[in-house]
């Protein structure tokens, strides 16, 4: 690990100023992703700004019945919060599926959102990776790509975004509060992460020095669920995951929320599937048609082509369970 300066600011304004004044700075919270990358020589900040002492670790009620979650709330705390478990089971389930208990105890909400989109070649400094060095190439395109993305890909990157929590928040219409030198702004979570295009090294919409301070989650009345399919039940990234909420009234879908993980280069809000589901019957055929429409744009390779069928089956199974739950209420 190369030498770096360490700064622990007293408040949010000082943190933003410290991160903005140097070109190669990183914020650190739990450090569950950044420290690993620094050890491997992939992340090489000149300055690390420790935000763990800032007052961003509370969960507060919003007037509409939603919640405001501070960026330094630990993943384990958020998953166990009784309001989250009661109002947003999709979020609690995603967090519990996301990592080991030890990692959840360290990881923060803000850090989870900003973990690097990656594949095995990202960690291999002898491999070509456009995320590490723009223009270097992408060995995953014709290499080991079983876990790679099939949605939102480009000729420069096919890595999948690893966060389970972000997929749930995408389905929940969460909004990210960000503080920078110019003040505070709000970013829909679905706009926070960028598709790779020809600049896969630029992963988010954040400007240099901007700090995530909170996540706001609007109220949700419909039943919700998170389903994750992976190679092993212990700590592993998703091959496919589905975050969904379904409001069914007299057999008709009043509203559908659907987001996918494990298949895309960013947390993937399934807008086309939602459009087809709204106002239609809550039955297996409708679920399958919606899944097919969303996955029609998939770009697959021989090793990851199975993800299309697996994603379809997972979407249908999740919506089926929710439709039964909604009818039973």
Q: What is the pLDDT of residues 27-81, one digit of tens each?
A: 999 999 999 999 999 999 999 999 999 999 999 999 999 999 999 999 999 999 9
DSSP codes of every residue in 6-26: EE--SSHHHHHHHHHHSSSEE
Q: Tell me: the pLDDT tens digits for 302-311?
A: 999 999 999 9
Q: What is the pLDDT of residue 328?
A: 46
Query: Two tokens at 104?
Result: 């959840």
Which run of H or E residues covers position 328? helix 306-328
Q: What is the pLDDT of residue 326?
A: 53
pLDDT above 90 as % of the chain: 94
Phi, psi angles (nearest 5°) of residue 240: -145, 140
Residue with tokens 């909004």: 175
Q: What is the pLDDT of residue 117?
A: 96
Nearest to 315 by CA among 227, 201, 212: 227
Q: What is the pLDDT of residue 101?
A: 87
Phi, psi angles (nearest 5°) of residue 147: -90, 5
Spans in the chain with pLDDT lower than 70: 1, 326-329
Q: Which CATH superfamily is domain 224-328 in?
A: CO dehydrogenase flavoprotein, C-terminal domain (3.30.390.50)
- Does residue 78 contact residue 168 with C-beta atoms inside 8 Å? no
Give the global pTM: 0.96
CB within 8 Å of 24: residues ≥ 6 apart: 44, 45, 46, 47
Q: What is the pLDDT of residue 325?
A: 81
In this structure, the number of other CB atoms found within 10 A of the CB of residue 180 comes to 16
The 3-state DSSP class for residue 160 equals strand
- Does residue 56 contact residue 13 with C-beta atoms inside 8 Å? no
Residue with tokens 């999740």: 318
Per-domain boundaries in the chain = 224-328
């Amino acid at each position: 690990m190369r030498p770096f300066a360490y700064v622990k600011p007293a408040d949010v304004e000082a943190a933003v100023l410290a991160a903005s004044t140097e070109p190669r700075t990183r914020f650190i919270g739990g450090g569950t992703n950044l420290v690993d990358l620094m050890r491997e020589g992939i992340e090489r900040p000149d300055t690390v700004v420790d935000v763990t002492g800032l007052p961003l670790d509370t969960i507060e009620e919003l007037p509409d019945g939603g919640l405001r979650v501070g960026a330094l709330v630990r993943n384990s705390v958020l998953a166990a919060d009784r309001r989250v478990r009661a109002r947003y089971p999709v979020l609690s389930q995603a967090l519990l599926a996301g990592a080991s208990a030890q990692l959840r105890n360290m990881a923060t909400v803000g850090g989870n959102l900003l973990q690097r989109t990656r594949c095995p070649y990202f960690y291999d400094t002898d491999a070509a990776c456009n995320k590490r060095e723009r223009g270097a190439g992408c060995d995953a395109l014709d290499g080991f790509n079983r876990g790679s993305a099939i949605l939102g890909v480009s000729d420069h990157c096919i890595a999948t975004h690893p966060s389970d929590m972000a997929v749930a928040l995408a389905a929940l219409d969460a909004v990210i509060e960000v503080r920078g030198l110019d003040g505070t702004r709000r970013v829909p979570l679905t706009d926070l992460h960028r598709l790779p295009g020809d600049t896969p090294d630029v992963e988010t919409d954040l400007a240099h020095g901007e700090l995530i301070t909170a996540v706001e989650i609007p109220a949700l009345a419909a039943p919700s669920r998170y389903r994750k399919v992976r190679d092993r039940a212990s700590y592993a990234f998703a091959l496919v995951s589905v975050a969904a909420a379904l409001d069914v009234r007299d057999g008709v879908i009043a509203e559908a929320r659907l987001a996918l993980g494990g298949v895309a280069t960013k947390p993937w809000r399934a807008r086309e599937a939602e459009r087809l589901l709204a106002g239609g019957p809550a039955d297996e055929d409708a679920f399958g048609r919606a899944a097919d429409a969303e996955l029609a744009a998939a770009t697959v390779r021989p090793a990851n082509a199975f993800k299309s069928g697996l994603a379809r089956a997972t979407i249908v199974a999740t919506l089926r369970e929710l439709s039964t739950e909604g009818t039973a209420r």
